[in-house]
Chains A and B, each alone.
Chain A
């Protein structure tokens, strides 16, 4: 399959009970709208709200690996006291965070895997081979879920993960659908207290989860820009927004 699907109006509303595509699969429309394939997290996805990637699990980051040689296709790490569900890291990444590990700086995509018990040993299957030997340096390797595996409503005001996109349609807990990453969409908007939602103005993550609001001095330096208002609705209604900065 091509790395990009050419889609048409209507395709963005399709949902699947079982996974049909890789997480993050891109679908492009002629008019500039682009979508990525995502899974709903523990809460159903609702239409026209901004979603973010899942937050890395504390007990799955900065773990200690077993040594892995160049060419290996698995890296074994000891999890902390949180189980890993089956395919929780499918299409996600194993990263070597610490410069003190010989394999530092590399990121490897993770393939299908089984459930792992809390504090268990996780033989992480890689889609490609280890490029530089990974040492047993303590607390130097992390697991990062795919940005689209278990999306959650964008947290208000203070970012806690990278933004994933705006839901094109609702999809149920654990099911699959499309979030929009570029082009015109509808999204919940709110005024920011100083500036009303205004056509042509830049929008950032709002003070209500899943919403957008006009950029303002107080939050503009750390919060990512999301897009531009195309048609302003009154606060707490749904504006038309051109997504320009999610990716």
Chain B
């Protein structure tokens, strides 16, 4: 399958109970709309026309200690902290070597399908590629990062906590799969007085878009441009252009 799907109107509303595509798979429409395949988290369903962000990395799964892995290895074993890993939680996500003190620093490896791992257990992380530079056993130097589209959550108000991923097009039940828009025209929950032709950013209401304001300009991502104004708490039309 090509890495980009050519879709047409209606395809963005498809929802799957089981994963049919890789997380983050792109679908393009002729009119410039682009979507990526995402999973709703296990605790909360995705709702239509709100802004979503990536899942926040799990504290007990970052800066963990790995067993040494030689160049060419296709798995890396690390000891989890006191939080279990569910099956495929990190499928299509990444193992990263964060610390310069580890010989394997600076590399990012995509993770394949995997089973459950108990809290504080040893996780044999299956890689889709091979280790490029030997990873040593330096303490607290390796992290697990979920795929940006695995378990998306409503964009957190005001203070960013993860990368923004897109605007939902249809409700997606918990743990189901569907599409979120990453570029082009969409409706989204509006907060405040937006103005046609001007920049919008995440609002203080979770999942909303609001006019850009000086106070939040420097740290938070811009998202797009207002195309059709609706009143606050209604759904304006936006052209999403800055998410990727």
Contacts and interface: CB of A to CB of B under 8 A. Distances in A.
Nearest to A2: B2
A30 B25 contact: yes
A234 B54 CA distance: 21
Contact of A13 (B54, B56, B96, B129): B129
Given A186-B97, A202-B218, A48 B107 contact: yes
A177 to B, nearest CB: 12
B148 to A, nearest CB: 7
A127 interface: no
A216 B218 contact: yes
Interface residues of A, number: 47
A13 B132 contact: yes
A7 B94 contact: no
Contact of B145 (A13, A216, A240): A240
B20 interface: no
Contacts of A184: 94, 108, 145, 148
B221 interface: yes
Contacts of B163: 200, 227-230, 242, 244
Interface in A145-180: 169
What range describes how many residues of B lie at the interface? 35 or more
Interface in B124-139: 127-130, 132-133
B243 interface: yes
Interface in A1-49: 4, 6-10, 13, 28-32, 47-48
B204 interface: no
A244 B243 contact: yes
Given A186-B108, A199-B161, A230-B148, A238 B97 contact: yes
B22 A185 contact: no
Interface of B: 2-4, 21-26, 36, 53-54, 56-57, 62, 92, 94, 96-100, 105-110, 127-130, 132-133, 143, 145, 147-149, 156, 159-164, 217-221, 242-244
